[in-house]
Amino acid sequence: MSNPILQNCPDCGRVLYFAHAETNLIHCSCGSTVYRNNGVVVAKPFYTVAQPFEFIQPGTEGAWNGKTFRVLGRIRAWIEEFVFNYWTILWNDGSISYLGEGYGIYAIYEPVVTDRDVRSSLLDGVKVGARRDLFANDPFILERKYQCYKWELEGEAWLPGVPSAFRTFEFAAVDGRRIEVIELSNNATLCFNVQYTTQEALQLKNTRSVEPPIKTLTCHNCSKENVLKGFPFCQSYACVHCGTRYALEEGLNFKRLGQRNSTDIGPDIELGSAGVLKGINYEVIGYAQKEEANQYRSQWKEYTLYNPQHGFAFLSEYNGHWSFIRERGDGPVVEKEQPSHLTYRDERFELYNSYNYEVVNAKGEFPYNAFNDQEKRAVEFISPPEVWIKEKSGREGINWFLGEHITSKEIKTAFGDKFSPPWKTGVGAVEPKGYVSMGKILRFGAGAVLLLVFAHLVTSLTHRAQVISENTYDFSDSVDTVSFIKKDIVLDKRSSNLEFEIYAGVDNSWCEVSGTLVDVAKGTEYSFEKGVEYYHGYSEGESWTEGSTRETAFLSSIPAGRYDLIIRATRETKVTYASYLTAPPELNPSIRSFNMTVTYDTTNDRNLFLCLIPIVLWSIGHFLLVRYNERKRWYNSPFSPYTYSDES
Amino acid sequence: MKVNFFNSGSPLFPFRWFILITLLTVGTLTYANLTGWRIFSGGQEQWKASGPGGHK
C-alpha cells in the first residue's frame, strides 16, 4: 500500500490528503485547486467539474482482474467533439492507473513501458491507419488521435506536468492489444496498456446517485426552448420545434449551423419517451434521418438513447428492420481499409455495405457532433443477428459500433404507445431468419454424425455376435420341401435379435426359407420368410444378373427365454419332358441343400444409416433455407455474393 | 453460454430443432441397438399364444 501524504492547502490551510505519492492534483473543499510538485504544494486555478453527476465518484470502489481499487478523482478531458473521464484509481497493491469512462465505455489504463522511446517526433503527422512499432517488431495501427483542449478536475488526480492541453493517440495491434499514448508536452509521453471492460465487470460500489443536470437553450430561429439532457456528452442538437441545428464550439457555446432539415415524416418513436431495452432504462433524446451519399440515396432513421449511468445507445431502422447499436472500444482491428470480411472472437463478419452519409433530418440531441460527418466513411460487416459498423474519419479516427437485430415487438414493449412501428419489407441486414453460417451448419452436421457413430460404436460393444447354429440342410431327392427343428435355444439378453444368413446355390431358380422361433414357456411365435433367387442371362448383347445366392433375414427385439427354432425351406423343381411317348418327365430340382447360419445379438449397421438420414436431410434443408434467405438479405448490398436476374 | 437453446438469446437457438432431432435420433439408435430392434424392419410376424396375433 502507498503511504498517504498530508499537506496543507496554500489557500485555507486545511489538511490535504494525497493518497499516493504520484497524485499531484487535488481539489480542496475550500474551492482551491492545488498542484503538488516535488513535495511543494501551490494553488493553481484549474477548471473543476461543475455539477458532477456521473455514476462514478471519488471514493467509488471496484474490482478488476482479481484486484480491487478505489477511485481518487478524475480529469475530465474536453476533446474536440466529446468529453472523456480519466479517473485516477488506486489499486490495493499501491499502484495507480486510470479508469477511462465515457458514453458507456469503460477501460483500464495501466502504465506500460514500450520498447521504443515514444517521442513527439514519432507522433507528429501520424495518420489514422498508419503503423508504428511501439514494441520491437510489433506494429501497432493508429486508430484514434485526439486533441484535449481543456480539462477539469474533480477530487484527487494524477496528471504529470499538468499541461493545459494534451494529445492522445490510441494504437491497436491486430491481436486486440491497445496502447494509448498521452503526449503531455514535447517529448514527454505516458503510455498505457488499455483494456476495455464493462461497468458490470468492474463491480462498482459506493457510486453516485445524482440527477444529471439539464441545460436549457433557446433556439435562435424559433425562440422556443430546448432541454438538453445529455450535455456535456451531447455536443450537437437540432431544435425539436423547427429543426435548426447547433453544435458546441470549444466547449463554450452552441453555434447555429447553416444546415436545414428536408421534408420528413418524423420519428416513429416520440422524443422524450422512455423504456427498458436490453435491461437498461433509456430515454429517446434524439432522432436523425440519414442518407447515403451515393447513387442509391438510401435513407434510414436513427434514435439516440441515453441513460446517465449506462451511456448511449442507438436504434437504427431501415425498411422496418431494427438494430440496437452501442459504441465499443474493443472493436475489431483491421489492417485493410475495407476488408471483405473480419473475424471477431472466432465469429466471421462479412462486408455488407460501405458508404458516406449525411443527416437530412434531425431533432433533439446527439453525442459528438452529428452534423459534420460527411467525410466519415461507414463500413458494415454482418454476421446476423450482429453487425459491426466501422466509422472512420481522418480527423477523428476509427470508431466501432456493435449492433444487433431487435424486433419491433421488443421496442413496442419498451415504449408502448409512443412507438408506431413502420411497415416491414424484405429481409433486414441482420435479421436472424434462421441465419447460421455455412461453416456452422457443416460443423453441427459433422458433430451430429460423429455423435451418432460414437453412440453406435459404444452400444455395439455390448453385442456378442454369438453363433448358435451353422448347418447345411439337405433336401430329399423326391421332396421339394424340408423342415428342421432346433430345440432348446437359450437367449439370455433381455431383448436382442437373431440374424439368419442363408446361402443357397440357386441358378436361374429360387428357394424360399421360412423360420419360426417359438417361446417354449409362453408360446409366443416370431417368424420370417426369405426368398433366395438368382437369375442371369444374356440378351440384346448384354449380360444380366438379378438376385443373389445369399440373403439375410432378421428377427428383432426377441425377449430372453428358451426357444425352439423351426426352419422350413421350399425349392424350385423344374419338370422337363424329353418325349411324351418314350420317357416319363424328368424332375430337375434347383438345389440339393442350403446353408444357414444363425447368429444371436448382432450389430445392425442399418440402424446407424437410417438414423443418419434425418441429420443429413436437416443439414441440406437448413443450407437451402439459409441460402434462400441470404439471397434476399444481400439484395440491397453492393457486395452481394449472389447474382440477381431482377435487378431492375 | 445459455444452455436453454430454445431461448432466442442463446447462440444455439438457430440449431434448436437440429439439436432436438439429433438427441432423439441418438436416443432411438441407442435404444434400437440395446434392444435388438431393427428400425423400420418389416416382414417379421409375431403370434402370441395369449391372444390375437399381430404384426410388429
A552 grid coordinates: 439375410
The span from the CA of A204 to the CA of A101, in Å, is: 13
| Regions of chain A where pLDDT drops below 70 | 1-4, 578-583, 646-648
Interface of A with B in 458-497 (CB under 8 A): 459-460, 462-463, 493-497
The span from the CA of A255 to the CA of A251, in Å, is: 11
Torsion sign, CA atoms A58, A60, A63, A69: positive
Residues of chain A neighbouring B26 (CB-CB closer than 8 A): 451-452, 455, 611
* Contact in structure between B44 and A555 (CB atoms under 8 Å): yes
A534 grid coordinates: 438368382
Q: A559 touching B, CB under 8 A? A: no
What pLDDT does A646 receive? Answer: 61
The span from the CA of A387 to the CA of A50, in Å, is: 38
Q: Residue A232, preceding bond cis, omega within 30 degrees? A: yes
Residue A202 burial (CB count, 10 A): 20
Nearest to A261 by CA among A343, A170, A371: A371
The span from the CA of B48 to the CA of B51, in Å, is: 6
Q: Cβ contact (<8 Å) for A494 and B35?
A: yes
Q: Cβ contact (<8 Å) for B29 and A607?
A: yes
What pLDDT does A187 receive? Answer: 78
Q: For chain A, what's the residue count?
A: 648
Torsion sign, CA atoms A363, A366, A371, A377: negative
- Radius of gyration of chain A, Cα coordinates, nearest whole angstrom: 40
User: For the segment B10-43, what is each residue's pLDDT rounded down to a tens digit?
Assistant: 778 888 889 999 999 999 999 999 999 999 876 6
What pLDDT does A1 receive? Answer: 46
What is the phi/psi pair of residue A200, to 5°?
-65, -40
ipTM of the complex: 0.85
A10 grid coordinates: 496554500
The span from the CA of A240 to the CA of A263, in Å, is: 15
Q: Cβ contact (<8 Å) for A610 and B45?
A: no
What pLDDT does A648 receive? Answer: 42
**What is the distance between the terminal CA atoms of chain B, rounded to a whole angstrom?**
44
- Radius of gyration of chain B, Cα coordinates, nearest whole angstrom: 19
The span from the CA of A323 to the CA of A413, in Å, is: 15
What pLDDT does A117 receive? Answer: 77
Q: Which of A528, A607, A612 to mutate to test the interface with B (most CBs of B within 10 A)?
A: A607
Amino acid at A421: P
Q: HSE on the CB side for B4, CA within 13 Å? A: 4
Q: What is the DSSP string of A143-194?
A: EEEEEEEEEEEEEEE--TT--SSEEEEEEE-TTS-EEEEEEEETTEEEEEEE
Give how far the C-alpha of residue A612 lies from the chain's centroid of Cα atoms, to the nearest Å. 29
Interface of A with B in 599-618 (CB under 8 A): 601, 603-604, 606-608, 610-611, 614-615, 618
A261 grid coordinates: 432539415
Q: B31 touching A, CB under 8 A? A: no
Strand partners, A141: A131, A172
Q: B15 touching A, CB under 8 A? A: yes
Nearest to A239 by CA among A226, A228, A220: A226
In the 8-state DSSP scheme, what is residue A269? Answer: B
Nearest to A358 by CA among A340, A372, A345: A372
What pLDDT does B3 receive? Answer: 67
Nearest to A481 by CA among A508, A528, A514: A514
Q: Cβ contact (<8 Å) for A618 and B29?
A: no
A470 by Cβ neighbours in 10 Å (0-12 / 13-18 / 19+) ranks as exposed
The span from the CA of A138 to the CA of A115, in Å, is: 10
Residue A227 burial (CB count, 10 A): 15
Residue A62, SS3?
A: strand
